[in-house]
Structure 1
Amino acid sequence: MAPAGTKGSADPDAYDERRRWQALAVGLVATFMTLLDVSIVNVAIPSLERALHANPSELQWVLSGYALTFGLALVPAGRFGDIRGRRDVFVFGIALFTLTSALAGLAQSPGWLVAARLLQGAAAGVVNPQVTGLIQQLFQGPARAKPFGLLGAVIGISTAVGPLLGGLLIAAGGPEHGWRWVFFVNVPVGIVAVILGWRLLPGRVTARTARRRLDPVGVLLLGAGVTLVLLPLVQHAQWHGPAKWLLIPAGLALLLGFGLWERWYARQGPPLFDVRLFSLQSYTLGSLIALFYFGGFTAIFFIFTLYLQNGLGYSALVAGLAVTPFALGSAVAATIGGRIVNRFGRPLVAVGLLAVVAGLGLVALAIDLLPHAPVPWVTAAPLLVAGLGSGLVIAPNQTLTLSQVPVPQAGSGAGMLQTGQRIGSAAGIAAVGSVFFSTVASGGNAWTKAFERSLLLGAGIVALALLAALLDIARHHRQTRTQGRAPS
């Protein structure tokens, strides 16, 4: 066994406590940076539109193209990290993300920016499953709760703080070029992450692991299936007519084919994704919770920033500040949730989901009861409640969902979980955004009504995640009673 802290060792025992946390810190910074770019661009859209003269379809691809390629890369990249070692894949992904961030900031046309965003999203999809796999690799059993708690805090904060940071950068850089700094800010952080990632992350893989194949047929089936499911969702505003929705059943058919192929391929060798993971009810129900939660959660910030800026005339900075209570609540609760999840289990997630639904409902109620009050002030307390709930959802649910996943499948298992999150985000933004824009288009002073309706729809989608959590709690209680009645 290599001495403690030896560079490149894949053995978690070769990493002392300090080295484990240093490696995790690098991974968390990378996760923050890649997930920040999901939401930070929202507040930059008005200035970006003016600077590049982009049309609505191009703006949609700037936002949604990132999510599309992000989702496509997750499972293959997670599997590749399982096979070849997470350090090399992580460093490649961060280097590509840094380069494409610079290219996006230098964009001279909408087409240039869209191409850079597509590559940037793919790079983000390469990075993220390596971080989750790293936690599975370096921490064992209950010790994973704290790092998963920190990861959950990073996920929640990055999504919520994106509009605030974007507003600050635009205010500092000016209305004409401030949007470029939304991308340039990634460059110095990315360079440091590449250097530290190469030095600190475990890199060596065993000969047995290195002989595994990537399963190219599985990659093609999964990629085509996810693309067909996501395309009509990300292009719903640009592709008119009902024919686009036929792509979704076609994509689902390909995903079914992917599942059948993976079952067959597992008899020949390790598959891209072991579908037997779905026989673990903790993994299946946890994945459903993540799918529905991100479907409601991500859409809220999309419509909130639009409502504040385009509907009420607030600046990008004020729009960003308005979601800060949610970010703060999420950060505090995620840190606590990660420490107590092993004690309370899925009921903790259910409490968090209930708080999110209640908080979002209170946001709509506050705006309705106080129509003339400043919206950022009247929504601060309800958003804080929702943020506290969110912190008890993301990290604990991820810990519970991946708790029984074997370490050799940690990257692909986490990749599939995050793919579900990306599909949920795209579907939620499509559904909630459709209600929002159709209500705005009805004319008159419809912005507030549009926000309230779409907000309640988002809360309803989160309620589906709560239902899945309650089903898991009921299943666990049945198992406990059955074991209690079993003869000793």
Structure 2
Amino acid sequence: MARAPHTGSDVTMTDEQKHILALLLIPAFASLLAASSVNVILPSLREDMSASTTAIQWVVSGYALVFGVLLVAAGRAGDLVGRGCLFVSGLALFGLGSLGSGLAPTMTWVNLARLLTGIGSGLLSPQVSGMIQQYFSGNTRGRAFGVFGGVIGVSVAVGPVLAGALVSLLGTSWGWRASFLVNVPIALVAIWVARRVLPASAWRGAAGSPQPGSPQTRSPQTGTPQAGSPQAGSSAAPEASARRRVDLDVVGTVLLTVSTLLVMTPFLATSTTSLRWLALPAAGLTLTAWTLWEAAYTRRGRAPMVDLTLFTQRSFANGCLISALVFLGGTSVWLVIAQYLQAGLGVSAMVSGSIGIPAALASAVVAPLVGRHVLRLGRVLVLIGLLVAIAGLAATMLAVHLTATTGLSHWWMLGTLCLVGLGQGLVTSPNQTLTLVEVPLRYAGTAGGVLQTGQRIGAAIGVTAISSIAFTVSQASGWDRALRLSFLAVIISFAAAAAVAVLDMVAARRG
């Protein structure tokens, strides 16, 4: 019989925890690398495949769409049938989609393969946050999310540079193909490691029975939060032994998936017709229907797709809102910077990609460091990060103004944007830790999916709105003014997130 899993200390990671964390970071890095590098290869892809504008747009939007709509459903599925199963399945589809994209003979095949890659990413991403919650507690969980935030920073920095280097080294045709194919061996290695590193508890869900082919004979060395941790007493083990069938809540899953699809479609659609905005009121109707269904499903004694009581938890509700607001503005920063440098100042794509490296590295360095202190400092850490990021955005606006009026070198933005990266490193991972800290383990994947869905919706809305501001103003007044107004919109979204953080801190002190 397998020993009862344990976490050891909530201050020092065990060797088993380090192995699990290293495994989880492999696909996280690969999927983020793929997302951050794709914009650099689009011109080469378009030239090599003689692709239309619509086809090129779908390379990005098709992936983002299927990724976003799957997150909550995939998180819930992982909670029920075993996070290891969904993690490995997602890796397999991610690798297969990357292989298909790299070897595709036509643009149609490229986009079909990209959809498959997005499905894979959508399946595995919620399992990463779910297993961090499952196998880490207390300060080790904050450190794990901090390291994860550092990986995000590194992938954002490395992705564009790696893609540009591959195109320069291998040429127009094989350069863009290689940027997809590089993910295939990463996925294969991660699958191989997962079969050997993940404990048996990762392959079991709410039904309480091991999944076919899972490593049942190996004794797990990690898995249950310690007594006194936020999730002590909320482990799924007692429930798993009591429940013998998986409650999929098919209707709730379909309604929420359709709602997410309808919300994201107008902002990712390649069509310019105004009819696409009809999707938003339709999304409101389906989201209302989903809420009513989940409440009724719960009253019948069933397990809903998303336990609506999660949103009564102050830390979870406020954290999700902060995250969505940060992604609403923050995702557009580097898009606007790239356009300003290339279209406005005429610098090369390689220089444009390099300008953000110090910012990404600053985020990568600070995220693991603050992860050690997030539970002690709380949401004040997030507030400080937002204020630092706002200061960096304002300083960048000043640098751009001086570049236009006095001829100041654009390289000064290395320093001002570094502040933005530093601020984001203080926000993203700490906020994720604090948002999920009170979530019961049985809903770990679901809650992570909800959090990430909010991020995807915020990013989709922000990119559409802020890029529209940038391109419209650039045509009338130039890219220097376009950047300043775009960054003002980002500052407003960050200021709104800071206001929510302040309200959360006030409520915490009163409570």
In 2: Cα distance, 1:298 partner to 1:84 partner: 33
In 1: Cα distance, 2:8 partner to 2:394 partner: 49
Q: Which residue does 2:479 correspond to in 1?
A: 447
In 1: Cα distance, 2:400 partner to 2:125 partner: 37
**Which of 418, 439, 447 is residue 405 of structure 1 equivalent to?**
439
Amino acid at match of 1:291: A
In 2: Cα distance, 1:116 partner to 1:391 partner: 32
Q: In 2, are the aligned partners of 1:98 and 1:187 still within 8 Å (CA)?
A: yes
Q: Which residue does 1:486 correspond to in 2?
A: none
**1:263 Cα deviation from its structure 2 partner:** 1.6
- Give the RMSD, CA atoms, in angstroms: 2.0
Deviations 1:432-467 (A, max 9, x none): 11112222333xx72332223222222222222112
Q: Which residue does 1:417 correspond to in 2?
A: 451
Percent identity (aligned): 43
Q: Which residue does 2:110 correspond to in 1?
A: 113
> Structure 1 133/264 Cα, relative in aligned 2: closer, same or farther at 3 Å?
same
Q: Which residue does 1:232 correspond to in 2?
A: 266
1:390 aligns with 2:424: yes
In 1: Cα distance, 2:481 partner to 2:159 partner: 25
Deviations 1:100-145 (A, max 9, x none): 0111112232222221112211110101111111111111233311
Q: How does 1:163-312 map to 2 (within 5 A)?
A: 163-202=160-199, 203-205=202-204, 206-207=208-209, 208=240, 211-235=245-269, 238-241=271-274, 243-267=275-299, 268-312=301-345
Q: Secondary structure at the match of 1:266?
A: helix
Amino acid at match of 1:92: S
Relative to structure 2, which stretch is displaced further, 158-167 or 318-327?
158-167
1:363 aligns with 2:396: yes
Number of equivalenced pairs:
468
Q: In 1, are the aligned partners of 2:96 and 2:116 still within 8 Å (CA)?
A: no
Q: Secondary structure at the match of 1:379?
A: helix
**1:160 Cα deviation from its structure 2 partner:** 4.5
**1:230 Cα deviation from its structure 2 partner:** 0.5
Gaps of 5+ in 2: 210-239
Q: In 2, are the aligned partners of 1:154 and 1:331 still within 8 Å (CA)?
A: yes
Q: Secondary structure at the match of 1:272?
A: coil
TM-score by length of 2: 0.87
In 1: Cα distance, 2:482 partner to 2:375 partner: 40
Q: In 1, are the aligned partners of 2:402 and 2:408 still within 8 Å (CA)?
A: no
**Which of 376, 381, 403 is residue 343 of structure 1 equivalent to?**
376
Q: Which residue does 1:2 correspond to in 2?
A: 2
Q: Which residue does 1:69 correspond to in 2?
A: 66
Q: Which residue does 2:237 correspond to in 1?
A: none
**1:291 Cα deviation from its structure 2 partner:** 0.3
**1:374 Cα deviation from its structure 2 partner:** 4.1
**1:56 Cα deviation from its structure 2 partner:** 2.2
Q: Which residue does 1:484 correspond to in 2?
A: none
> Structure 1 456/175 Cα, relative in aligned 2: closer, same or farther at 3 Å?
farther
Q: In 2, are the aligned partners of 1:214 and 1:272 still within 8 Å (CA)?
A: yes
**Which of 460, 465, 470 is residue 426 of structure 1 equivalent to?**
460
**1:151 Cα deviation from its structure 2 partner:** 1.6
Relative to structure 2, which stretch is displaced further, 11-20 or 307-316?
11-20
TM-score by length of 1: 0.91
In 2: Cα distance, 1:363 partner to 1:176 partner: 36
**1:13 Cα deviation from its structure 2 partner:** 5.0
In 2: Cα distance, 1:142 partner to 1:182 partner: 36
Q: Which residue does 2:361 correspond to in 1?
A: 328
Q: Secondary structure at the match of 2:305?
A: coil
**1:220 Cα deviation from its structure 2 partner:** 0.8
Q: Secondary structure at the match of 2:508?
A: helix
Deviations 1:30-75 (A, max 9, x none): 1111122222111112212211222222222111211111111111
Q: Which residue does 1:29 correspond to in 2?
A: 26
Q: In 1, are the aligned partners of 2:8 and 2:14 still within 8 Å (CA)?
A: no
In 2: Cα distance, 1:210 partner to 1:167 partner: 52
Q: Secondary structure at the match of 1:41?
A: helix
Gaps of 5+ in 1: 4-8, 480-488
Q: Which residue does 2:96 correspond to in 1?
A: 99
Q: Secondary structure at the match of 2:373?
A: helix
